[in-house]
Amino acid sequence: MGISWWSWRASQLAVTPKKRKMGAQNKKKRTIAVFTGKRGGFGALISTLEAIEADPMLSFKLLVTDMHLSTRFGKTETEVKKWFSVAHRISLGEYDDTPVKRAEALGRCYQKMVKVLSDIKPDILLVLGDRGEVLAAAYAATELNIPVAHILGGDVAGNLDGNRIHAITKLSHIHFPSNRDAYKRILKLGEEEWRVHNVGSSYLDLVREGRHTPNSEARARYGLSKDEPYAMLIQHPVTLQEKESFNEMKAILQALKKDGIRTIVSYPCSDPGYTGVIRAIEMYAKEPQFIVHKNIEAVDFWGLMAGATFFIGNSSSGLMETPYFSLPAVNVGSRQEGRVRDKNVIDAKATLNDITRAIKRAKKPSTRKTFKNKYLFGRALAGPHIARVLKEVPLGYALLRKKVTF
């Protein structure tokens, strides 16, 4: 007869602070439930999952949901399975592009995560980012007294992500911010210093190791000639101004059309307003200038970055990954407002004139020579650092009992 959920959690909570100091914490192999709902976010988990897999004292259960299971966004579960086995598929179903339907889908995510986590009984739930499904997963774990470890907390943004990310921080017990600014913000939110580890961005681990598709191969795969200049475009919805999502994407495409540069276009994320972005893409999809894909796998994405002329849009990739390729990035609109950025980032208002100005600046050969990046998102490998903390952090009451430092 299997152990009940409540009996299992009681045994976990029995590790008191006194016992922890005496070294009486668990020495058994730890199970980490790793949750991913977004195609881009999975790329940032690869090095951490590899480090967990390589450690004899750790194992993981991979949980996939939302965009990974959606045909509308390329069903990127296929990419995930090329790397690791999937333990649980948490389907939210295909849903309409409205805040109500998105909120209902997140409610389903919460309910299903309660069931999955109850079955798995993990030692820790590992989540990444600021999306709604991450908040739902973190809340489910909180109600079940499962410690939550959060990657990429502490940042700010000019949309709903900026609200959710701090809510996830307060539900989490271990923090892995990507930069010094985010680290300090988490401490200001009242988190105890021993819980916060400034590991840098795990998005960059494979990039730094050169583990991505060679640019020549990526060019051939995506229909680009050997020496052809090209741009990369990802524009997500503006969640606080959903109706502007179409207009902003249209303005970007108009500016690119005017410039004439070949452009690799990737679909947006599933935030409310995505149909407006897709509608704008479809207006230009038949133009030979634009190469449209619902998804670009992480290793191909970085391989394309390695040879691009510039990156454009409002994706965090434009802030976080482009500096390491010395790639000019045109950051459009307010979605990334307030987030730290390096010297290669050119901010533009979401208007045709301002985007056109920024593109011209990004294309100047002298532009790359003028910015001296500070590499704000770290230089060391974050994944192995995260895995080490997950293995060594004491479990039990002291971890779950959070204090506010102000």
Q: What is the pLDDT of residue 94?
A: 85
Do 163 and 257 fall into the same domain? no
Is the CB of residue 326 less than 8 Å from the CB of residue 309? no
Pairing of strands 329-332, 310-313: parallel
Do 230 and 306 fall into the same domain? yes
Do 183 and 312 fall into the same domain? no
Is the CB of residue 177 less than 8 Å from the CB of residue 404? no
DSSP 57-116: TEEEEEEEEGGGG-GGGT-THHHHHHHS--SEEE------SSHHHHHHHHHHHHHHHHHH
Do 230 and 128 fall into the same domain? no
What is the domain count for the chain? 2
Q: What is the pLDDT of residue 242?
A: 66
Domain that holds residue 74: 5-208+381-400
Closest to 337 measured CA to CA, from 156, 173, 147, 94: 156
- The answer to whether residue 375 sits within a structural domain is no
* Tokens 């994706």 found at: 315
Torsion angle of the four alpha carbons 330, 336, 339, 342, in this order, in degrees rounded to the nearest 10: -10
- The answer to whether residue 134 sits within a structural domain is yes
Q: Which residues of the chain have pLDDT under 70?
A: 1-26, 158, 239-240, 242
Count CB-CB contacts under 10 A for residue 221.
14
| Token representation of residue 74 | 């390329």
Do 52 and 167 fall into the same domain? yes
Helical packing angle, 132-143 and 99-120, nearest 10°: 40
Do 185 and 245 fall into the same domain? no
Q: What CATH number does residue 169 fall under?
A: 3.40.50.2000
> Distance between CA 316 and CA 161 in Å, rounded?
11
* Tokens 């598929």 found at: 89
Is the CB of residue 192 less than 8 Å from the CB of residue 170? no
Do 314 and 242 fall into the same domain? yes
Do 241 and 358 fall into the same domain? yes
CA angle 93, 98, 103 (to 5 degrees): 60
Q: What is the pLDDT of residue 240?
A: 66
